[in-house]
Amino acid sequence: MGVAVVTVDAIAARTDYWDPATQPTNAQLTAVETEDARGIALAEADELLANLHGMDAVKEQIAELEDTLVVLKYRLDQGEELSDDDSLHLLLEGPAGVGKTEIARVLAKKLFGMGLVPADRFVETSRTDLEGRHLGDATVSTREVLQEATPGILFVDEFHDLHQRGYSGDEDPYGNAMISALLKYMEDHRDELIVIGAGYTGQVEDALRQNRGLRGRFALRIRFDSYPPDALVKIATVMAESNKKRDKLTEPALRILYEVCAAVYDFQYTETARDGTTATERGIDHLNNARFIRRVVTNAGKVRDREVAPLLRAGNAPSLNVVRQLHARHVLPGAVKAIEQIAQDDLGAAMLRAVAARFGLQEARELDAAAMAADDPTA
């Protein structure tokens, strides 16, 4: 008679510790483990979502989506099959730097937690990963990435780039090959894989117009707006305080940052797409919203460090709480540099003039004096 191999978990699950006949089967143990993992995934998703700021409208859309998915899951459990209208593939549409990737990760955990995908797997990709070096590679590379994500979630960043048109309106054979492979795989593995795409609103819509099959597969959408100034200031506060240095923006710094954000939020310019079409865009979208704020905080810290370092070298060390403070005289130069780093040449110069005008100034070079005045309570 062979030796039975028993795991610690199986023994612990017995109703009678000494009777092997009372322990659950391996399939039953796996089912319990999966249910536990789904509960953990849902809790993690809720925690991730709670820590994202400036997303009230997005969170409301997610709440509505969850209600739809709860009902859909119940109907599936009762034996109904997915119709074409019940496609679970999602599109996240909005400007750069508004948290689309973070929301994709939240949704992936929720979809697994609700039992709508078999595994808690999240694979991120983009056109660069899919197209390969030669036309024949596109189909193979796309299929390989899809297989890597199955079972689970495939996140396609910059989804709009799957189909690219040149200024002459030429077709895109690489894009067509990738999309054809994607659509076939999505159909063949509809119970194992959910695709989440993310891209810029107008360009995503253009990509869908180029391929009716894509439009039919992505029935669910979540739309993101540019971060307004108050949300950007909140994000700056969280970014500063959540890093290991635990920096803190002073009240004058917060006020001056709000004015900068309001200036670039209100600033509008004309963007020309690859195919020659034009659209009016906000300055904050060109600056990448929250990514701009991260640069501002980083730059402000460097300005502060140049101020504090000579004191430390001279043996006149201020308290740690003083060192951690980011003042207006740090934040405004940090914001100016961030604009110069991201929006170069004429567009950057125009944005800086808009910032200066917000402070009643004629020239951007006068902003340094405005920063010092903002820190002076007698000014």
Note whether 247 and 325 are within 8 A (CB).
yes
Tell me, letter by letter, the H, E, C secondary structure of 22-91.
HCCCHHHHHHHHHHHHHHHHHHHHHHHHHCCCCCHHHHHHHHHHHHHHHHHHHHHHCCCCCCHHHCCCEE
Q: What percent of the chain has a predicted confidence (pLDDT) above 70?
A: 87
pLDDT tens-digit map of 97-107:
999 999 999 99
pLDDT class of 130 with cuts at 50, 70, 90: confident
In this model, does residue 6 exceed pLDDT 90?
no
pLDDT for 147 equals: 95
CA distance 146 to 130: 10
pLDDT of residue 70: 94
Residue 378 confidence class, pLDDT cut points 50, 70, 90: very low
pTM of the model: 0.85
- In this predicted structure, the answer to whether residue 88 has a pLDDT above a threshold of 80 is yes
Tell whether the torsion through CA atoms of 238, 239, 245 and 248 is positive or negative.
negative
Task: Round the average pLDDT of the chain to a whole number and report it.
Answer: 87
Backbone angles phi, psi at 276, to 5 degrees: 95, -10
Q: Choose the weakest-confidence range: 14-23, 118-127, 153-162.
A: 14-23
Inform me whether the pLDDT recorded for 246 exceeds 60: yes
Answer with the residue of higher pLDDT: 311 or 1.
311
| Higher per-residue confidence, 53 vs 135 | 53
Half-sphere exposure of 69 (CA within 13 A, CB side): 22
Where is pLDDT greater, at 15 or 209? 209
Q: Is the separation of the CB atoms in 193 and 90 below 8 Å?
A: no
Q: Is the pLDDT of residue 348 over 50?
A: yes
